[in-house]
Structure 1
Amino acid sequence: MKTKKWSVLIIVMAMLTAMLSACGGDKNKENNASQTPAPSSSNAKPSGEKVELNMLIAESILGGIQDQLIEQFESSHPNIKVKVESIPDGSIFDTLRIRISSGEVPDLYQVNIGHVTTQMADQAGYLADLTDMEAMKGYAESVKNASTVNGKIANFSMGVGVLGLPYDKAALAAAGYSEPPKTWEELMALGKKMKDSGKDLLVYSSKWETGIGNVFHWAFGAQAIKDPAFKEAYLANKVDWSIPENRAVLQQGFERFKELNQYVRTGSFTNEYSIAQQAFTSGESAMVLGGTWEAGTYRGLNADLDLGFMNLPYMDEAANPYIFVPEDGLALNAQSKHIEEAKTFLNWLFGEAGNYVQVQKAKGNMSAITGVGELDASYSDVPNWLNTDRVVSFANTGPIPSPTWIALGQAAQQYTFDGKLDSAINKFIKAYDGTKSK
């Protein structure tokens, strides 16, 4: 596998800082009243007693090598045992909601910095501040800022993410495409060719609660690029959808969602993402909706796959947005009975010892730590994307609350099946207005 040495993070540092602060500022202000117990000093040492840490993660966040990592850690830290609860990716946030509500939050757990469950964990006092952690020194300032909730660094992010379409270069070449489609019309023409040959164009992002409406990241992003007033309202969660130009954005998004759906693999909306990945790597589809955090998985499933990565051509290339999304990361329970032991594990995984590089290699993602790891060849164009003024944040972890995003996906499916466009649009607007910032 051809790779390039990792230097991408330096390119995007300033951009991420501005973008994430714009998306998360209002939410963080709302949470100033939360009272999180302060963890003990990061300079304190573990007690030396034998303890067991509990960690809740989705099965892909550590690249599937969690057992290997835990074995290595425990061999050098015999007094600390780490019990990992690894669950399917599509279930992580539902599970976390339950644990927060029941007060059964583990010592370490997976969060997405903009997801509603992270805000829930903070308000309930379960989100520790990782600012003074030794391992956090390896993260650039902009990544720290991008990982901040209510004034504290909330997690060790696994990587810098960009939403897009991993694709099979050989499948596209067989359909007459020497490079990925550059326009929506070219993408639809490819979809028809694939369908006529008995294959699917795309496997969707499956049962992720926020995955169904992913086309709208580009719909909203494209409008934000060309309309400063919309961008300001969008980032502040204050869009007036009664304005004809804004309603037209929704109309186009719903129509393109339906058009694309005729070439999406049946069952994509309800399968686990691992099934979608397997369908893609086995040649059943030409593309899969994903991001720059999983090349290692695809190469592990099919070492012969000629893997590429493309932006969804929602608009013509010069006007098309690039969708940024910070990867999920590991958070520390501020109420853990084993704070120092949990910190020991986090410092071991993300610190100078370089254990994080094992995760980065297994995932094939874009590294979160400056100078660590290598960039997968399929992502070679992504640094150039990020060095433009067309980067827009992932909608449902910034401008639009997750419940509203879920309602958008449900409304889009409704339109796909019943064809009632105005009804679907109005359903989303009602949900949006219910969670709109004042």
Structure 2
Amino acid sequence: MVRMRGVAVLAAAALALSACGSGGESPPSAQGDQPRVLKLWHYETADSAMGKAWAEAIKKFEASHPNVTVKFEEKGFEQIQKTAGMVLNSDEAPDLMEYNKGNATAGLLSKQGLLTDLSEEAARRGWDKLLPGGLQTTAKYDDRGVMGSGKWYGVPNYGEFVMVYYNKDLFDQHKVKVPTTYEELTAALDTFVKAGVTPIANAGAEYPAQQIFYQLALTKAQKPWLQAFQSYQGKVDFHGPEFTYGADTFADWVKKGYLAKNSAGLKAEDMGVAFMNGEFPMMISGSWWYGRVASTVKDFEWGHFLFPGATMAPGSSGNIWVVPERSRNKDLAYDFIDLTMSKDVQNLLGNSGGVPVAADPAAITDPKAKELIETFNKLTTADGLAFYPDWPAPGYYDVLVAGVQNLINGSKTPTQVLDEIAGPYEDNLADIGN
């Protein structure tokens, strides 16, 4: 069973924990004279907070393992999402890989026997101490592949959440104030539309649009509904007030011009670049963009705020390091994970715009980084992390992509879309015996 309330400790962990037990020392098998290669996959861009931190970790790892070369291959999120099951069941599997957390992804692979049980290493290296309570929710999976209990199959080392990025210059130009209520948000959206400006950058071909749909549903949701949807602790009515409001309002936002009708085929990168180029006043997306926005945007002032009118937002501990069962260098993979949990790498992650889990609080000096972590603290203190809409069922990500594309195109009604997303969810419940 998922310990939903425990996830609130992530805020404290993000700043208060030190990297005890993360010395990065190699076992004897990694200290030999024979050249070795650690094959590493992740999908963080070089200018993101995580990308910068993992690049530094690679340098430190090779310096501390002189006979080891890290062969890093950058993979797209979608690429890993769609091919992981096949690749990890082949000789092409990497030694260490960043992977999406949740029942439908890491949980499914653990159930299929494709991931290494990390429980012993987590205890030996102190990861279980660095990641207490709710931080372990996405690290552990039971025999059904359901997160929150069971064995360790992954290690998260940062936090994340969905927020509203905004262009302060465009807000000032159109005399729009940062909204603090849902009514103020829709009034702001109307102001931009009347001025001929599409207010929200969007991408229907990948995750952003479904996260907006989910955020809208969360404005009508309470904790019992979330626990039913994500943790199977009760029945979910897909035509109840939560999802009905999400689907109806998302379709209405397209009709009103809040979201562009041509955004159905756009990808997350298209959305992010457009916002960073100053083309949209707002972007509703995750903290994984934060470091990149901070380092890229030079021509306008920007900021962020939590989605008004909701007590919860999509978010969780970050993506996880997993060690494929077919990894040929598991000891090296464990060493690299350990290094990413060290203070030096965690401090860099925090100062680059990420949300670290084991940083030295005094070492986070960047003002923007502090602002981000303060918002995260606010959300987690209120127990407001709601995970992501595609987590509950295998293949659900693609189901939701198709659903929101239909809402953007107007090719199906909200009722029809809700019927279509209900089916795979119910099928999964039957498959796991719930």
Q: Report the TM range for the smaller structure's normalisation.
A: 0.7 to 0.9
C-alpha RMSD of the superposition: 3.3
> Counterpart of 1:221 in structure 2: which amino acid?
L
| 1:149 paired residue among 129, 138, 141 | 141
Q: Is the 8 A contact 2:218 2:242 kept in 1?
A: no
Cα deviation for residue 136 of structure 1 reads 2.1
Aligned ranges 1:184-333 → 2 under 5 Å: 185-205=183-203, 207-208=205-206, 210-225=207-222, 228=224, 230-237=225-232, 238-241=234-237, 246-261=239-254, 262-265=257-260, 268-303=263-298, 305-313=300-308, 317=309, 320-333=311-324
Percent identical residues:
17
Deviations 1:220-246 (A, max 9, x none): 4344417x4x4553344353537xxx4
Match of residue 428, structure 1, among 415, 418, 421: 421
1:355 paired residue among 345, 363, 374: 345
User: Whole-Å Cα distance in 2 between the matches of residues 126 and 110 of structure 1?
Assistant: 12
**1:16–1:412 distance in 2 versus 1, CA, 3 Å:** same
The answer to whether the 8 A contact 1:199-1:285 is kept is yes
CA distance in 1 between counterparts of 2:347 and 2:245 reads: 42
Unaligned runs of 5+ in 1: 1-11, 20-40
Say which SS state the counterpart of residue 336 (structure 2) adopts. Answer: helix
How many residue pairs align between the two structures? Answer: 391
Equivalent residue in structure 2 for 1:388, among 373, 379, 382: 382
After superposition, what is the alpha-carbon deviation per residue over 1:353-407, rounded to whole angstroms, capped at 9, x for unaligned?
Answer: x223323333x1211225355344245333223222554333333xx22523532
- Note the residue ranges of structure 2 that are not aligned, 5 or more in a row: 11-24, 143-149
Match of 2:160 in 1: 161
Name the amino acid aligned to 1:360.
G
In structure 2, the CA distance between the partners of 1:162 and 1:124, relative to structure 1 (3 Å rule), is: same
* Preserved CA contact (<8 Å) 2:164 2:304: yes
CA contact (8 A) 1:135 1:347 kept: no
What is the one-letter code of the residue matched to 1:346?
A: I
Change (3 A) 1:88 1:408: closer
Question: C-alpha separation between the residues in 2 aligned to 1:347 and 1:190?
Answer: 46
Deviations 1:170-201 (A, max 9, x none): 22222222223521x43333233323444331
Q: Distance in 1 between matches of 2:277 and 2:106?
A: 35
Q: Which residue of 2 aligns with 1:23?
A: none
- When normalised by structure 1's length, the TM-score is 0.77
- In 1: Cα distance, 2:181 partner to 2:350 partner: 30
Deviations 1:310-330 (A, max 9, x none): 2233xxx3x543333221122
Query: How many angstroms apart in 1 are the aligned matches of 2:411 and 2:137?
Result: 44
Q: Is 2:66 the partner of 1:78?
A: yes
Q: Deviations over 1:190-222 (max 9, x none)?
A: 2333234443311125543x4432134334434
Alignment equivalent of 2:100, drawn from 104, 112, 117: 112
What TM-score, normalized to structure 2?
Answer: 0.78
Larger mean CA deviation between 337-346 and 191-200 belongs to 191-200
Q: Which amino acid aligns with 2:346?
A: Y
